[in-house]
Structure 1
Amino acid sequence: MAIWLTKDSKVIVQGITGSEGTKHTRKMLAAGTDIVGGTNPRKAGQELDFDGVKVPVFGTVADAMEKTGADVTVIFVPPAFTKGAVIEAIDAGIGLAVVITEGVPVHDSAEFWAYNLAKGGKTRIIGPNCPGIASPGQSNAGIIPASISGPGKIGLVSKSGTLTYQMMYELSDFGFTTAVGIGGDPIIGTTHIDALAAFQADPDTEAIVMIGEIGGDAEERAAEFIKANVTKPVVGYIAGFTAPPGKTMGHAGAIISGSSGTAEAKKIALEAAGVKVGKTPSETAQLMREILS
């Protein structure tokens, strides 16, 4: 099993004809993803050739869904057009929208998230500013390299793209059910808690790695959720132990304000919930290795 993305998922790519959309569509296809179409209003009716695989281009998400049965969209459009692309996906009623784009204005993210809730929250949004979601051996929606790890029994949820890749590599001998990169912007669709709940419910996920970072209180809230709801072993890592207060580190949401949002405070909260927290990604991987061994 996997969460949210499986071998049966039918994927479209919004922005498939752009340089990033084209490049990563080719990589997703190579990973075994069932990409059934893409969208570009100006190039509707065309057909793209990806090493012998023909992918049709549609004018809208709704049209692509009607013609192909797509239930997942991966969004590779510039920041200025991302809000419109997500709202179009929500209006079409697609089940999962993976928003890769970096640099989306926070008020745009707030607007399309509120719009989704007003429409009943039927579309799961992952991102923005994220590497996407990968269920190794089944499907890959985003930019997570497929060669890092194969299928296995670990669930991974992470704010950081590069740390997602490192953790998958370090634990590749155990493998993963699904890895979810939720992104590090101040406002994101899917949270640590959403992924933790899904991994808890997934019978094939035996243990969970959670990667957070400084700023905000998402990790503290996740710790409360774990304490109350998660029975599977969880190990964690918090990026930013050496970050100076008041400086944004990497992600827009990764900033310490006063005494809140520090890596140490998050570590304490997680450990109080029974989560083993490593001081480095490699130490965190070793903690998981000890649990599974």
Structure 2
Amino acid sequence: MAVYLTKESKVLVQGMTGGEGMKHTRRMLAAGTDVVGGVNPRKAGRTVDFDERAVPVFGSVREGIDATGADVSVVFVPPAFARAAVVEAADAGIELAVVITEGIPVHDSVAFLAHARSRGTRVIGPNCPGLITPGQSNAGIIPADITKPGRIGLVSKSGTLTYQLMYELRDVGFTTCVGIGGDPVVGTSHIDCLAAFQDDPDTEMIVLIGEIGGDAEERAADYIRQHVRKPVVGYIAGFTAPEGRTMGHAGAIVSGSSGTAQAKREALEAVGVRVGRTPTETAGLVLELLETRH
């Protein structure tokens, strides 16, 4: 099983012919992803030759869906065009839009997320590494060769911490790893992923990575208390961050005790989540819990 992305997923890449789009399309194909087309109105009708296959370029997402049956789009377009790209994908009926682009104005994100929701399109991101179901499909920029299929579900605000935990737990492996993005407004939340992993029969344990700022982790803790019966291990980035400073991601704003790493840790531990102080300690907690369950 997998969450949101499987080997049957057919992927379009909006912005495939740009530098980042080309580089990561090649990596996605190498990971086994079924990339069925790119989208660029100015280069429609062309074909791009990658090592694994020749990929056609379509003039619109609608054309790509009609020709290939695509159900996932990965968005690599520049920030100024991201809103239009996601609206186009949603209007065309794409089921999942993975928005890698960073630096999108928040008002644009709010607008396209509301539009996508009204059309029934799930958005991962923006400003995210995407998601991977190891051994099946990889939509985004997550390295595919640092872990293997397994029984842990991972949801993370941070891209690099996603990779680190994947690598630290590579001998156990993952069902799906989802990088939800660190912007103040994102399309898929910790709670959405917790619900999906709770319902996935092959996910035995969940790892939740948060970071300072906002209250997403506190809300996730409340959801875990009410709905999640599988063990959850957490890590919060930013224990050493100074108060009142914006750190890294746009969402990482701390005021007073609200949004601090300590407040988030306490909220999670209060509902039975074990929280590591470092990524390595967090991985150790996962291994320890797995040992006690088998």
TM-score (norm 2): 0.98
**Pairwise CA distance, 1:116:** 2.2
Superposition misfits of 4+ residues, deviation over 4 angstroms: none
Report the equivalent of 2:244: 246
Q: CA deviation at 1:258?
A: 2.2
In structure 1, what is the equivalent of residue 211 of structure 2? 213
Counterpart of 2:125? 127
Corresponding position: 1:64 with 2:80: no
Partner of 1:281: 279
The count of corresponding residues between Structure 1 and Structure 2 is: 291
Equivalent residue in structure 2 for 1:192, among 165, 190, 201:
190
Amino acid at match of 2:105: P
SS of structure 2 residue aligned to 1:114: helix
| CA-CA distance at 1:80 after TM superposition | 0.6
Deviation digits for residues 9-61 of structure 1, max 9, x if unmatched? 00010000000000000000000000000100000000010015110000000
Distance 2:238 2:160 in 1: 14
- Match of 1:250, as an amino acid? G
Q: Which residue of structure 1 lines up, in the alignment, with residue 38 of structure 2? A: 38
| Corresponding residue SS for 2:54 | strand
Q: 2:172 aligns to what SS in structure 1?
A: coil
Matched, 1:222 2:220: yes
AA partner of residue 28 (structure 2): M
2:213 is paired with a residue whose SS is coil
Aligned to 2:232: 234
The alpha-carbon deviation at position 193 of structure 1 amounts to 0.2
Q: Which residue of 1 aligns with 2:85?
A: 85
Give identity over the alignment, percent: 72
Match of 2:247, SS? coil
Partner residue in 2 for 1:151 = 149
Q: Cα offset for 1:95?
A: 0.4
Q: What are the within-5 Å matches in structure 2 for residues 162-181 of structure 1?
A: 162-181=160-179
Q: Deviations over 1:68-104 (max 9, x none)?
A: 0000000000011100100001111100000000111
- The 1-side partners of 2:45 and 2:251 are apart by 40
Contact 2:86 2:116 in 1 (8 A): no
